[in-house]
Amino acid sequence: MNILILLMPLAFGLGLTGLVAFFWCMRTGQFSDMDGPGWRILEDDDVGKEGG
Amino acid sequence: MAATQDLSIFVRHGEGGVAGMELAVDGIHCAGCMHKIERGLARQSGVLSARVNLALKRVTVEWTEGALRPEAVIAGLQSLGFKAYPFLPAEARDADAQEDKRLLRCLGVAGFASMNIMLLSVSVWSGNGGEISPVTRDFFHWLSALIALPTAAYAGRPFFESAIRALRAGGVNMDVPITLGIVLTLGMSVVETWNHAENAYFDGVAMLLFFLLIGRYLDQLMRRRTRDLAGNLAALKAETATRLGTDGATVVVPIAAIAPGDLVLVRPGERVSVDGIVEGGSSEIDQSLVTGETAPVAISAKGRVHAGTLNLSGTLTVRVEAAGSGTLLDEIDRLMAQAVESRSRYVKLSDRAARLYAPLVHATALATFLGWVAFGLAWQQALIIAITVLIITCPCALGLAIPAVQVVAASALFKHKVMLKQGDALERLAEIDTVVFDKTGTLTLPEPSLANRKAIDPAILEAAGTLAAASRHPLARPLALAAGEPRPPEGVQEHHGLGLSAIVDGTEMRLGSVAFCGAEREAWAVSAACPTASLIAWRRGERCAVFAVDQELRPDARASMQELRALGLDIVILSGDRESAVAPLACELGIAAFKAGQRPDEKLAELDRLASAGRKVLMVGDGLNDAPALAKAYVSISPISATHLAQASADIVFLGDELAPVAASIRIARKARALMVENLWFAVLYNAVAVPIAIAGFATPLVAAIAMSGSSIIVTLNALRASRPVAAPSEQAP
């Protein structure tokens, strides 16, 4: 069971990373618009540049 | 003539030489519009970034300081095909926004904690059933403690603060047993862990915090959605005034940029947007939005005008002034203060539940403790059982019961074009038995329209409409609209106080007062048919016609009255307009109880009389003179076209031209209240089952976890029933 000494901090570390990411998203205002970014991905204003 | 605009008050000046502005945009339907706006604006030179918020229909534009004028941004959006209205840089919105963020952070922490602690707890529970070495179990318990203690300290703050506030005020609210439960359970769990025991309740605490915070956040979410929508609508309705400079130049500025002492120009047909004293010009004004009186009042120099009145015939220059004492506005302020003070303190359902709940829970826990000690158990064991009782009865379901229903009901209301400003308005709306309507602007449409349209030959309407399109007079506007806004002819001459004339195809065409067009005979017939209408006449050579312009009833007024009666409500009309205008309308709608010529204090007195007769009144009004009554009534609704003060005093605001939202809100409110009560009973039922189990000492953390999550899920699912459409009584199957 000594492996737990490695696994537990690892698990919590990952969890904390998630929490920190959540806080960062809140700070950069990503929760104010839930619809727009989904559509913004579909914009293909970079296609022309590649083709040229 | 294009007046210059000055929108600099809306510009936010950031660091690094970046200026920015936020605008509400009308006409965003989909992602395609978003792309169009962002790309179109980015192409304008000087613009650094343009970002659309698709959910809120707003755009934030940033540009290098000095490179652009804000008017150019709006013009740019106009050329892309969108009408945009700027917002004032948000200061008032910040406090609420901060509270939202804090709650979301607490929710995030509680979520992280409960999931990670559950990870450990499930291991311990399954280990307890099989073989787990005490060392491992202690390790897991201490890890749980490590997560749970900081979490409770951080995420529990909203509850601790609320509980302390309530205790300081000498009362108890729902948060007191919650706080007590959390603190005692954490303490007990730490002690148990220290003593190498099998059970620790850290997961219970974390889960409790998580579910309760969800309930709080839902409550906040509902209020934020209403605020955002209201913010957009306020920007769309943004009022401007034409400021007259000392050099005689006119600049169109937003209301927020007008200061007392400025000189403002009000043209005929414009709404007066400031309070002040007339310095020059004479005219007639329509005061219906302020007093309800629809007959025009003459005004000239030294006369006082109020914001919201409509300037009818002549141009006025007004010196802006704050309202002095003895004016109508001052009296309304006084009445408002009185109304808000004396408004009965409605006790929300959740508070009523808390009043019963808290003492009962504490008494049960205490009784359990004493009971077990008397039974012969060691006091430490008895204490553990008592605290378990406390945590099991902790109101997970209770905390979600009401906010969940409110959020779902508010969404259902949005679909019916109704905006809920106060959460507990839903409960109050379900209890009413009387509806009081104002007449002007509430039962009637806010803008006047052509009343005798059917009696007019379409060719005449079109001809008259071309001349009407050249005038800004409020009587001519409905005529032009009814004729489809045709292009005015060339060479239109205005005769002040009389009307317009133009030479069309060789004959003179006149549009104006009855005397100007010599149409007394026709006018007599029309005014007999529409006694309350204002008349505007037209003549072209031998042919003449008279148009009646009146404030028409809202399209579904009659049907709405029937629906309200079918819901079992009494209807009363209280209007500031004269009796001869109110009586025919009341007759048409089949309403026997009406009072005309009511001043604001008389409306309040009537509401008092109804309240003391034990009636619960819903007040529906839009004018400045309705504001005190709207604040005083048990619950109040106003249309979106109402004055700012009326909208601010009302609990609910509805959009659109129809009265159907009023009946729809009442139906939804009744259903929502029924569901809230159901949810509360369910929470009681859950307690009735869980408490005996806890008292008997059989409640392990596993039992507590299942009970808490199960009850919360059921309560939430029940709340979703509020969004199912409620059939109108007329549509229900016999």
**Tokens in use for B441?**
């602007």
pLDDT digits (tens, 9 = 90+) for B245-281: 888 788 888 877 888 888 888 888 788 888 888 988 8
3-state secondary structure B278-322: EEECCEEEECHHHHCCCCCEEECCCCEECCCCEECCCCEEEEECC
pLDDT digits (tens, 9 = 90+) for B461-507: 888 888 888 777 777 888 888 887 788 777 788 777 778 888 878 88
Partner A contacted by B60 (CB < 8 A): no
Specify the length of chain B in residues: 734
B395 or B254: whose pLDDT is higher?
Answer: B254
Under the banding of pLDDT at 50, 70 and 90, the label for residue B733 is: very low
Beta-bridge partners for B253: B241
What SS3 class is residue B25?
A: strand
| Structure ipTM | 0.85
Instruction: Choose the catalytic residue: B262, B286, B424, B438.
Output: B438
Q: Which residues of A touch B104 (CB under 8 A)?
A: 26, 31
Pairing of strands B449-450, B593-595: unpaired
Beta-carbon-side half-sphere exposure of residue B425 (alpha carbons within 13 Å): 27
Under the banding of pLDDT at 50, 70 and 90, the label for residue A51 is: very low
Pairing of strands B240-244, B250-254: antiparallel
Q: Which residues of B touch A34 (CB under 8 A)?
A: 55
- Interchain contact, B116 vs A34, CB within 8 Å: no
- Interchain contact, A11 vs B55, CB within 8 Å: no
Residue B568's Cβ-count burial label (10 Å; 0-12, 13-18, 19+) is: exposed
**Tokens in use for B7?**
């929108």
Task: Look at residues B432, B401, B433, B264 and name the one whose alpha carbon lies nearest to residue B685.
Answer: B401
**DSSP summary character for residue B634:** S
Instruction: Give me the DSSP letters along B156-210.
Output: THHHHHHHHHHHHTT---THHHHHHHHHHHHHHHHHHHHTT-S---HHHHHHHHH
**Tokens in use for B27?**
């006409």
- Residue B223, pLDDT score: 76
Nearest to B112 among A19, A36, A45 (CB): A19
Nearest to A35 among B55, B108, B133 (CB): B55
What are the φ and ψ backbone dihedral angles of B452, each rounded to 5 degrees? -105, 40
Partner B contacted by A43 (CB < 8 A): yes
**DSSP summary character for residue B543:** E
CA distance B214 to chain A (A): 16
Substitution target in A28, A39, A42, A46 with the highest count of B β-carbons within 10 Å is A39
Rounded CA separation B431/B666 (Å): 9
pLDDT at B324 over 70: no
Give exposure, B570-587, as e/b (b: 16+ Cβ within 10 Å): bbbbbbbbeeebbeebbe
Q: With a CB-CB cutoff of 8 Å, which residues 22-41 of chain B face chain A?
A: 31, 34-35, 39
Find out whether B384 and B372 touch, Cβ atoms under 8 Å: no
CA distance B31 to chain A (A): 6
SS3 content of chain A, % helix, strand, coil (to 5): 65, 0, 35
Q: Which residues of A touch B119 (CB under 8 A)?
A: 11
Per-chain mean pLDDT for chain B: 84
Model pTM score: 0.79
- Residue B213, pLDDT score: 92
Residues 6+ apart with CB under 8 A from B98: none
What SS3 class is residue B714?
A: helix
Nearest CA in chain A to B140: A8
pLDDT at B114 over 80: yes
